[in-house]
Amino acid sequence: MRQSTYELTDTAKVVSLAKRRGFVFPSSEIYGGFANSWDYGPLGVLLKENVKAAWMRAMVQERDDIVALDSSIILHPRVWEASGHVTHFTDPLVDCRGCGKRWRLDELADGRCPECGGEVTEARQFNLMFKTYVGPVENDAAVAYLRPETAQGIFINFKLVQTALRMRPPFGIAQIGKSFRNEITPGNFIYRTREFEQMEMEFFVMPGTSDEWLDYWVSERKAWYERHGIRSENLRLRAHETEELAHYSRGTYDIEFKYPFGWGELEGIANRGDYDLSQHEEYSGEDLRYYDEETKRHVRPEVIEPAAGASRATMAFLLDAYDEEPDGDEMRVVLRFHPSIAPYKAAVLPLQRKPDLINLAKSIRATIRKRFMTAYDETGSIGRRYRRQDEIGTPFCVTPDFQSLEDGTVTVRDRDSMTQERIAIADIVPWLDQHMATD
């Protein structure tokens, strides 16, 4: 598959395509929209599910040392006291005295409102957790929170997972799930939203080995994005300065992506030490160490955390895939997704709307769709149908024609090169299998 060299400088192009072709819609649009909330359309669901599946495949399926978990969204409120979120999970908030808009303090370049240039109030700390109440009475005893991260569900289940599966560090627990953050100023399409999905893994290692494991996971995670099609020149690593480290971190790296609005965090990999397990031991009174038979001692592991946003990763794959190139008097728009990420892996397009060709095409699709997500289109010229599939990133188009009725072969068109080859109908599924490889 050929990689694009196109430099995308305007997110609006992708936002427009995403809405028009059914990837991402503004949420509650018939009511005027709702504060940077987005709904995933039919193709967006497939794209994001493919991103999550690729992550889970790399983290769990292809490894012997990581297992999966699905913890509750609403946890015991003491979890967030122990983790430090009640105290530390805040942003400095200011209000513009002129237009009334609210901003994070770090968004002010010169100490004035970015919108109108007006004076702003003194900064005050704003907790980003969504507060709710459990039960019928809304009082302090019923306060709970929508989780701002999935990680704490992993930490409080560490001992149960370790005991149930008899695991010994180094091993990891991986989780994908919804998180919620009451961001002051969300924005940039689906880059920063108040409701999002995270793909987090906590990797528990022997004390004293966390630095080398941090280096390992930084390399592994960057390679994962490249493996699934993101161009190397659109990725970079950035180590956090001491003053910007989170309260739990001994060292953090960001994998950054070159968004049209500039370099921004795609994924963070942090050395959390034994902070979380120690905190939960103190607040719960439970011993979260495990007994290591080899050393004959109780051990509290240290932790490396690769934490990625499924929505943010989906956005990066979408932006990186976007390409434009001249096509006669028109401009061909192509999403050059890696096949592992593309919403549809193949499209079946009968050459003409003739009964025999349509019946054959539907029969072929019925066979392919048992193995791959497959589109079907019989309306308009074959050229227009190819372009529609290019625009949604379908890697291969299978076209039954009149020769197919005679010799049982079809044309398969490659999205990127637009070259075509003739293969037997019986060989389509194994051919696609071969061309879906991620390495």
- pLDDT digit string (tens) for 353-362? 999 999 999 9
Non-local (6+) Cβ contacts of 69 within 8 A are: 153, 154, 157, 161, 173, 174, 175
pLDDT in tens, 244-257: 888 889 999 999 99
Q: How far apart are CA 80 and CA 15, in angstroms?
A: 35
What is the dotted CATH code of the domain comprising 11-77+147-319? Answer: 3.30.930.10
Q: How far apart are CA 293 and CA 169, in angstroms?
A: 12
Q: How far apart are CA 96 and CA 327, in angstroms?
A: 49
Q: Which residue has the tokens 């009511």?
A: 31
Residue 439 scores a pLDDT above 60? no
pLDDT in tens, 371-408: 999 999 999 999 999 999 999 999 999 999 999 999 99
Q: How far apart are CA 52 and CA 228, in angstroms?
A: 12
Q: Which residue has the tokens 């659109």?
A: 234
Percent of the chain residues topping a pLDDT of 70: 98
| H helical segments located in 192-336 | 210-227, 275-284, 310-321
Instruction: Give ranges for CATH 3.30.930.10 in the chain.
Output: 11-77+147-319
Residue 438 scores a pLDDT above 80? no
For residue 69, give both structure tokens: 């978990």
Instruction: Give ranges for CATH 3.40.50.800 in the chain.
Output: 344-435
Element (H, E) at 12: helix 11-20
What is the dotted CATH code of the domain comprising 344-435? Answer: 3.40.50.800
CA distances from 392 to 47, 108, 396 (A): 10, 38, 11
Q: Are the C-beta atoms of 36 and 191 separated by less than 8 Å? A: no
Pairing of strands 346-348, 396-399: parallel
Does the reported pTM lie above 0.85?
yes
For residue 257, give both structure tokens: 């992506």
Residue 302 scores a pLDDT above 70? yes
Residue 76 scores a pLDDT above 60? yes
pLDDT in tens, 186-235: 678 989 898 999 999 999 999 999 999 999 999 999 999 999 999 999 99
Average pLDDT over residues 119-124: 89
CA distances from 381 to 32, 235, 378, 384, 409 (A): 37, 39, 8, 5, 21
Residue 240 scores a pLDDT above 90? yes
What pLDDT was estimated at residue 3? 58
Rounded to 5 degrees, what are φ and ψ at 271?
Answer: -95, 105
Q: What is the DSSP string of 358-393?
A: HHHHHHHHHHHTTTS-EEE--SS-HHHHHHHHHHHT
What pLDDT was estimated at residue 115? 84
CA distances from 421 to 99, 122, 348, 353, 376 (A): 61, 66, 15, 22, 19
Q: How far apart are CA 49 and CA 34, in angstroms?
A: 24
